[in-house]
Amino acid sequence: MTWAHTFESSPDANLRGTLRPDFHWGFATAAAQIEGAWNKDGKGESIWDKFCHTRGKVKDGSTNEDATRAYDLFKQDVALMKSFGVSAYRFSLAWSRIIPLGGAEDPVNEKGVAYYNNLIDELVANGITPFVTLFHWDTPQNLEDRYGGMLNQERYTPDFVRYARLCFERFGDRVKHWITYNEPGVYTLAGYAAGVHAPARSSFRERNAEGDSSTETFTVAHTELVSHAHAVKVYREEFKEKQGGQIGITLHGNFSEPWDANDPQDVEAAQRAREFEIAWFADPIYGSGDYPQSMREQLGDRLPSFTDEERALVKGSSDFYGMNTYTTFFVRHLDGPADINDHLGNVEKLDTNSDDKSRGAESDTYWLRTAPEGFGKLLRWIWDRYHVPIFMTENGTTAKGEHVKAPPPESILDDKFRVEYFHSYLRELTCAVLDGVDIRSYFAWTFTDNWEWAAGYEDRFGCTWIDFESEEKTRYPKRSSYFLRDYFGHLIRKN
């Protein structure tokens, strides 16, 4: 089943050709969520492999052992993406598939390298530009066992840099768009502050046996920033001139609106929330070269300090602003000192504001609501603060009612809620471009329903419905895939 969408007689008619001719659009995925083959062909264990095989960690008790079987079915997936008309595909490499033990002196798994070479070749042969993420949360478990992973910056950094260099060497002749880390803030907050993601560390002993939410979160974030910058230095000095690519980092961040727009304390709290969530990583790279002052004032010495060498290395260490965002929250200030385990900026997040206005239509995921106006404001906030080209690297939604038995009925595949989400957000993106914001890509999250981390198979973000009970993980395209094809055909200017 296919759907056709036209826009010439709609209010979108005047948006025709607004986006640059070389604008990239496609889907984003992560290795741990789609590949399966978790211990096949020499792959080593990752922290997520261990996490999902630990009882009680994943909401539905599932594992990522099979996921969508993208490891086995990548040719089928590339063909399907081509039928959707995508121009690019953003995917991550599984570090422990390439270097099973992870370390700088550990052996390379040539079968893992071959898999990614074959995937990249298949994409290129079908006219799809690969965007490659080196790290999407799946640290090799062996590095965690050896020295605590990212808690040990001195030992971790050379291991990550060696992995990055190997990828540049083996894939960089065809890959021209590199991302070092995906959402380093979410990795630290979920894994070390809340302890609900791998490696499952926090101060909350009813949840985690080890960890300190008040310090480890910021230690790990510092390691990510510094190791990212070292990898970028290697690429720029050893590969960029010959290979002609770009390299950067992708940061998460949802927009924060004041709960009471007439209360200066709430206005300040919303700005502080953006700084704790976004500027935490962005300011050192694109801005002042240091963490935001609001963070230093609340956290004191618990927030690491950059050495002069680190500051010089990190500042300017991204060729673009990789941006993942999904929704908007209303933010209200809290009186009194912040809790020692607070990572939000001493604020309260709410679904409605002081006028009882909702932040948006509910999805099938508790935190995610459709909020395009906030998305538009966030694009302008990032552009005004950092003034670097923006690559939109993740954006999407779940929709209620998609948990059905195969084959899914037409009412499920005709995913109007997701279509409206994309339509409203892409209108905002296009209006931001008309206002002068430099935006060069859009990757929808995600290509197929997948294994959604600690939510297991209970969050369906895909533009393709997956029958997880079938051996072949049968794919059923949803209307949203064809909407994106047609809408980008309308928005992107022809040469």
Residues tagged active-site: 183, 394
Question: What is the greatest pairwise CA distance in the chain?
Answer: 62
Instruction: Give the CA distances from residue 118 to residues 73, 112, 123, 344, in Å, rounded to whole numbers and listed in that order.
Output: 12, 10, 9, 42
**Residue at 121: amino acid letter:** D
Quote the strand ranges of 121-254, DSSP E: 129-135, 177-182, 246-252
Rounded Cα distance between 420 and 480, Å, is 9
Report cis status (omega within 30 of 0) of the bond before 63: no
User: Which residue has tokens 């973000």?
Assistant: 461
Strand (E) or helix (H) holding 255: strand 255-258
Give CA 463 to chain center in angstroms.
Answer: 17
Rounded Cα distance between 367 and 288, Å, is 31
Backbone angles phi, psi at 96, to 5 degrees: -75, -5
CB atoms within 10 A of CB 46: 28
Rounded Cα distance between 224 and 42, Å, is 27
HSE value, Cβ hemisphere, 13 Å, CA-based, for 331? 27
> Do 323 and 249 touch, CB atoms closer than 8 A?
no
**Residue at 184: amino acid letter:** P
CB atoms within 10 A of CB 404: 12
> Do 56 and 454 touch, CB atoms closer than 8 A?
no
